[in-house]
Every structure is written in structure tokens, then in C-alpha cells.
Structure 1
């Protein structure tokens, strides 16, 4: 299959919508990462997404919509969900809701009676979904388990020849996937951290929100309610190690041929005397989250790199999402400096 590379003009959005209507798979931009879209009501189209990604069939897909009205036929929208949608949609929040009987493919839900739903901030993609006329599935547009794509070039690296088209709207802004909140639990529970924080959601709901992202294992026969809960995610082929900024001096002495470093500008300015390959995470947490996956992908493609050392960030707000993705990418491996835990 030859993959079309489409720009962000109205005519190419219409072309992408026609491909979706024909049951094809199209990569699309969001504010978080690029997604892999197909008609969520068409089982054959959804199967193509699993095939392109190499994704396990019991790993549910997020259902992405262009408007709340487009969502109503498929799920039951509670008062709590309405509050969250009003506050955070369009945006980086995915909400798990009960499906209406017979209305959502079991391929999308992983066989569960719940669906994860989101309306992205990217206006181009919302117009694409509205023009297509149906919700689309929207997992990240990468090979299953690998770092998520934050540019169209990243998508092409993994998906050229496997999908019908890629719609290019430039780099994403957030850089890590959306927060996932389970509203079917007894107490609203975060299943994946993202840009929308626990505190923000609790304020909107006026009630407790539980962080359910602490490490836990699902048995082989259990289906996760959200992506990223059961299977290996965000991981390059190269070895990744997390380092505490307090261990920077020790890390600099430890580095050798084959090592690369990903750190913020403040640390890299202290690194000028070293000839080690490096990648800037920027000047703040927002920029670090935006640049994380791009750096992991870059060094993963460099034959001379064997190990990637990546700076941890303060574990607050968006830092929780950043550190969560980094922990998964590294498999929990730490640089064993004096401050490593």
C-alpha cells in the first residue's frame, strides 16, 4: 500500500474523510500525539488499525469524536461526564463511560461494556471527524509498544506502507497522551496521567478523584479498561535509564561511548565540555513533555547509541504524566547515583 502524505488544507481533509468512509486507516494530528484513525463503527476498518500497529486485540481503543452530539448515540453520558466535558473538552482528557447496548464494536472496547472517549483540541481533526460522519478510533500512530509520534515524520517512520494516509499538521503541543479517567468506577479513577490533573478534575466534579496509576499487574486473561495498563508502552529498542538532576555530576563522569543524554537546557549548559550526544528537553516542564518522545525516537534510530539517559522531572502536575511515560520507556531502570531510589 502506498501511504498518501496530506497537508492541513481543507481539500486534503476532505480527501482524508473519504478514505475513512471507505474503511481505510488515516493518521491524524491532535494536541497530544498523532493518532491512527478508522471508522469506529466498522469492524473491518478497526481490524486494520490493530494490524498496522501490531496491537493486542484485548487492548481497547479510544473512540475519538468531533463533537459531543456525535458521541450521544454510543455511550451513556452522566452528569459528572457533562461537567468534565464542559470544563476540559475539546482537550487532553479521555473519559471511560458505559456503552449503549449494541452500539459500539467489541473490537473497540476489548470486549468490555465501557468505552474510552475523547474530543481532541485540534480543530483540523475535529473537522475531519465531523466530515467523515462517525466517531473514529484514535490510538497513537506508532508500532505497539514504541514511543508515541509527535510529528508526521514519526508516523511515517512506523506506518509508511501500512496505512492509507497521514494528515500533517506540524508537531504536537502537549507531547504525552491524554489523561484517562474512569467514570464507571465507584469513585472516579485516573487510569493514565496526562495534562489534565487529578486536582483539576476533583475541583470540577466537587468530589474525590483517585489516582489509580500505581504499578499493578493484570493477569493474562484480564482486559484493561484503558491503553497503557497491561502491555509494554513507549519503549525504544535502546536501553533507557532515568536520572535525578541531583546526580548530574556523577552521571557526567559515568558517561561513555554509546551513551546519549536527554536533559533540560539548564543542565546541558553544564555539559558543553563533554562531546556526548545530547537532546534538549527545553526550559520547562511543558517543553520537556513535548520533546520527550521525539528525543527517544531520535536516539533509537542512531546506530552508535546504546544507552539513553533521561532526566526525571518534578512529580507534580504534568510532571506526573512525563515521569509515568519515562518510567514505562525505561522499564523502571534508574541511573544509580547517590540520589536514585
Structure 2
């Protein structure tokens, strides 16, 4: 079973595992990540093995600073402006790979682009100490609910990994926003911890929505973030025996019959809702209910990212190979 160590005592052990081609579950401001040295094929393969992740799905590479990022990828002026505005933080940029970048091909899944992010806190310090980027998808079994606490990581992956670094509950609670600059436009590939309006304010451009055919960025499988229970969206009523994921003040009809209830934000605060989403889905899934009914959540701001995750949780389940 994985050892859980606090951020104050885990650095040396985490470095030793990464240097040895192993994986480490680490806290970031978004969700917990399952990290390995992005230049080490053995370590990257262990990520796929532990998660049961399809080989065609690329990984985000995490960097310590902009200089490290520019050794890996080619930045256009607009992408660099976005990095300077939002790094470190929950923004991932999809960029052309630079020749001689050193990133193992498993990270990019054969694409000629790479997804890059600069995390805050322990993750950034760990990368700086290692001196190499970390590949780090969310620290959960592929397609399942992302982990926002060390305990959730251990409950899911504890038998498959050796170390979970405990940094407490993650403050953002959603994965990063992923964007790609395409000439004079910016495409939103995955909504996340930075609202689209904030990106538009920096670029002065309206974000284009949707990805081209094929997988271009991590986390774009149709079925993703899925609990064991079925998920029913925009619930106006609750059927007896269902669990209820609520939002705001008003309740769905028949809510008293819910097998379990969690309210993402009683005050209707979308930032609070984002930070609670995955943990509450996990709690409701553990209630034993066959279905989780989800009350409507507005689409503005971080609501876009919350609804994206819920749509994927509710989608027909993909096969993993």
C-alpha cells in the first residue's frame, strides 16, 4: 500500500522514486497528479499501467518555469502572453514540439504537439529539484473521478504506487483549462480551472470551442471522470433510491427521498462548486445508489468546466482499449 507523506517530509523520497523511473502522486492546485519523469519511458509507461490509461491519450508535461517550457516547445507570441499571464496556475497550452526536446514519445502519444503547464506549490518545487519536466495526468484510474485529496488517491491507486504526497485538499478542484493558439485565434480544447472569459480578457479574442477530429489534448475521451453509479443530469426531481448532487438554494422535487445528498455550493458559488465536484461525486458513489441525479448548474464562468466534467461522467462508458 502506498505511503502517505506530507509535503514537508516527502521531497527526498519523491525525488528518489522519480530518478529511479517510478511514479509519485503529488498535489497540485487543480487535482492530484500521478507524476513521472517525462523524459523517462519506463516511468511514463508506469503511469499508463497504474491508471489503465489508453495509450492513444496524451499526457500533460509540467514544467518549473518558462525557460524549461521553451526548451520543449515553440511559443508563438500569443501563447507566450498567456503563459506570462496565467503561469504558474491551472492553464495548459498545446504547442508545437521543439526538435531535440527530450520528451519521451509516450507523453505526446505520437502527436507533433505537446500540452504544457506550470504548477504551483510542491509540484513546481519538485520539478525544479529534478531539473526535468514531469508527465502528470490526474491521479486516478482512467475514466474515474479525479482525486482532490491524498486519501482519495490512496483509496484508488494505493495498491499500485509507492508514495502519495499529501498537500491537503486541492484549492481549484478541477483540471486545468487547455487552449491552443491557431494562427490568429485561440481554441478551447478543455474548459477547466481558468474561466474562458479570463483568457479572452488577456488575448482580446473570442475563444473558439471544440476540438478537431481525433484526440488533440488530454481528458477528451467521451466518457471520463465517471463514478460507478450512472449519472443523470439536469434533474428536476429525485427518484427514490437515487443520490442527489445539489447546487444552490432550490432543491429538485422529491429531494427528501434521496439516498444521499451533497450540495456543491449552498450559496451558488461556482468556484466552491468546482472545488467540491470530484470529492462529492466520490462520496455519493460510495453511498451505494445506482444513480446520481444532478441538479442544473449554470454554464457561465467555471460552470462551463463543471458541466463539461458532468457530461463526461454521464456519457456512455468508453472501452479502455
TM-score (ref. length: structure 2)? 0.91
1:19 to 17, 20, 28: 17
Aligned counterpart, 2:167: 169
1:77 lines up with 2:75 in the alignment = yes
Q: Runs of 5+ in structure 2 lacking a partner? A: 317-321
1:216-270 CA-to-partner distances (Å, cap 9, x unmatched) read 8x5xxx4x111122352111111111125xx3xxx1xx421x3111113523599
SS at match of 2:61: strand
2:288 paired with 1:297: no
Q: How far apart are 1:22 and its partner, in Å?
A: 1.4
Deviations 1:158-195 (A, max 9, x none): 11121121101011112111100012566321100013
* From 224, 231, 239, the counterpart of 1:240: 231
Measure the CA separation in 2 of the matches of 1:264 and 1:199.
22
Q: 2:217 aligns with which of 226, 238, 242?
A: 226
Question: Partner residue of 1:339?
Answer: none
How far apart, in 2, do the equivalents of 1:65 and 1:88 lie? 14
Deviations 1:33-58 (Å, cap 9, x if unpaired)?
11110000001110000000000111
Contact 1:198 1:209 in 2 (8 A): yes
Question: Take 2:140 and 2:216, find their aligned partners in 1: how far apart are those partners?
Answer: 20
Match of 2:107 in 1: 108
Matches of 2:166 and 2:183, distance apart in 1: 37
Q: Distance in 2 between matches of 1:86 and 1:228?
A: 24
Answer whether contact 1:14 1:131 (CA < 8 A) is retained. no
Contact 1:4 1:166 (C-alpha < 8 Å) held by counterparts: yes
Q: Which residue of 2 aligns with 1:154?
A: 152
Distance in 2, Cα, partners of 1:35 & 1:114: 21
Alignment RMSD:
2.2
Distance verdict in 2 for CA 1:273–1:208, change over 3 Å: closer
> Residue 97 of structure 1 aligns to a residue in which SS?
strand
From the superposition, tell whether residues 184 and 18 of structure 1 become closer, same or farther in structure 2 (CA, over 3 Å): farther
CA distance in 2, matches of 1:196, 1:7: 27
- 1:96–1:184 CA contact under 8 A, matched in 2: no
Match runs of 1:26-175 below 5 Å: 26-103=24-101, 104-121=103-120, 123-175=121-173
Equivalent positions of 1:201-216 (< 5 A) are 201-212=199-210
Contact 2:51–2:141 at 8 Å: present in 1 too? yes
Q: Structure 1 residues 81, 261: closer, same or farther in 2, change over 3 A?
A: same
Report if aligned partners of 2:239, 2:258 keep a CA contact under 8 Å in 1. no
